Amino acid sequence: MNAIVLKFGGASLSTPKKMLKVADIIIERKKELKNIVVIVSAMGDTTDKLLKLARKIHTDPPKREQDMLISVGERISMSLLSMALQKKGINSISFTGSQSGIITCDNHFDAKIIDVKPFRIIDELKNNKIVIVAGFQGISQKKEITTLGRGGSDTSAVAIASAIEAESVDFYKDVMGIYNKDPKENKDAVFFNKLNYDESLKIITSSKHFLLHPRALELAKQNNIKLIIRSFKKNAKKFTSIENDAFKKDGKIVYEKV
């Protein structure tokens, strides 16, 4: 499908004001693109707060109930962002992971995506709506709500992009892209305009904080999904694109190994 996936992390959605700014970014992109799916993380440190809250009730929270609780974080983001877009006069609809057709294994709090059936997403794109999807979550074949492990919404974004055969996933971050070392701590950090999957995986896994979840990179490599890392801040002139040196695609979509 001629579509693009945009992924916004928790830092870019941490306040209502920032949420409205993200809506403006999406509206700007909509001018050049017909079909947009947006994947969101939970606002700021919502997931940490929910995990702490659970521990106030139970020192070792049952994983099923914990997933029911923490999947709410992304649900808050998706609904508020869709409201923000509608306030600005743009047609949009929010979906949970299960409504989006993200099927996972049964492993609560570390579920792998085994299939995606994106019927509702495709229907609503055809209705000219921007579709907002809650990252980090899915549904098992037993119809249990699952979460994908910390930082899992990057993986949600690539899985959805694979399923709808989107052109690329744009990850909006608080840096312009990938550097050889953390640009916030190192003035001499070198910026990369373009990397292949293996090069970016090496850089990302060698740093303290993953700029992008390695599982998302792995999935993108398998399905040849181009990734763009760019800043959500205004006036950013550069971005990093991650793609294969030689493009090959045999048409079969591959999801994660359990």
Nearer to Mg ion, 49 or 226 (CB): 49
Applying CB under 5 A, the span of 29-37, 46-54, 163-171, 245-253 interacting with Mg ion comes to: 46-54
Both tokens of residue 119?
């019927």
The item of Mg ion, ligand ASP, none sharing an interface with residue 29, based on CB under 5 to 8 Å by kind, is none
Any contact of residue 82 with Mg ion (CB under 5 A)? no
| Nearest distance in Å: CB 28, Mg ion | 24
SS3 21: helix
Nearer to Mg ion, 47 or 140 (CB): 47
Any contact of residue 10 with Mg ion (CB under 5 A)? yes
Size of the site for ligand ASP (CB under 6 A): 11
Applying CB under 5 A, the span of 5-13, 49-57, 121-129, 164-172 interacting with Mg ion comes to: 5-13
Any contact of residue 153 with ligand ASP (CB under 6 A)? yes
| Beta strand extents in the chain (DSSP E only) | 3-8, 35-40, 92-95, 102-104, 113-116, 130-134, 137-140, 145-147, 168-173, 194-195, 226-231, 240-242
Residue 157 burial class via C-beta count within 10 angstroms: exposed 0-12, middle 13-18, buried 19 and up: buried
Specify whether the CB–CB gap between 58 and 75 falls below 8 A: no
CA gap 190, 176 in Å, rounded: 12
Chosen residue from 12, 35, 47, 92 binding ligand ASP by CB under 6 A: 47
The item of ligand ASP, Mg ion, none sharing an interface with residue 150, based on CB under 5 to 8 Å by kind, is ligand ASP
Which residues ranging from 96 to 135 are in contact with ligand ASP (CB under 6 A)?
A: 135
Any contact of residue 150 with ligand ASP (CB under 6 A)? yes
Any contact of residue 21 with ligand ASP (CB under 6 A)? no
Q: Output DSSP code: residue 179.
A: B
Any contact of residue 73 with ligand ASP (CB under 6 A)? yes
Residues with Cβ within 8 Å of residue 165, at least 6 apart in sequence: 1, 3, 253
Residue 35 burial class via C-beta count within 10 angstroms: exposed 0-12, middle 13-18, buried 19 and up: buried
The item of ligand ASP, Mg ion, none sharing an interface with residue 153, based on CB under 5 to 8 Å by kind, is ligand ASP
CA gap 104, 37 in Å, rounded: 20
Residue 248 phi/psi, 5-degree rounding, is -140, 140
Any contact of residue 138 with ligand ASP (CB under 6 A)? no
Nearer to ligand ASP, 191 or 210 (CB): 210
Any contact of residue 41 with Mg ion (CB under 5 A)? yes
Both tokens of residue 158?
């690539």
Both tokens of residue 211?
């700029």
List residues near Mg ion by CB under 5 A.
10, 41-42, 47
Interface ranges with ligand ASP (CB under 6 A): 10, 41-42, 47, 73, 135-136, 150-153
